[in-house]
Amino acid sequence: MLAFAGARDVLGAGEISLPLPAPCTAGDLLSLVCITYPALLPFRASLRIAVNGSYVTSNDLVHAGDEVALIPPVAGG
């Protein structure tokens, strides 16, 4: 799993590996990450998940070997 910006800061790394029950939904995976890293809980509602380079909904399936990214809100100017 890749993590960017604030999510990376909370996880302490830009990339982590997590065992996941296969297949699971993106929402299930986000729950697992938040249980494993409770400091992410305040950001949970604003995190987006991308699987293999495409944004997904919480109901979309994630399979072992997929590249998953946690993407926090981004502001720019």
Q: What is the mean pLDDT of residues 19-40?
A: 89
Q: Is the peptide bond before 23 cis (omega within 30 degrees of 0)?
A: yes
Q: Which domain holds residue 29?
A: 18-71
State how far the Cα of 38 lies from the Cα of 57, in Å rounded to an integer.
Answer: 21
- Is the pLDDT assigned to residue 64 strictly greater than 70? yes
The verdict on residue 53 lying in a domain is yes
The verdict on residue 37 lying in a domain is yes
The CATH number for 67's domain is 3.10.20.30
The verdict on residue 13 lying in a domain is no
Give the Å distances, CA to CA, from 42 to 7, 23, 38, 46, 66.
11, 26, 9, 9, 25
The verdict on residue 30 lying in a domain is yes
Report the domain count for the chain: 1
The verdict on residue 5 lying in a domain is no
- Is the pLDDT assigned to residue 25 strictly greater than 90? yes
pTM: 0.83
The verdict on residue 9 lying in a domain is no
The verdict on residue 6 lying in a domain is no
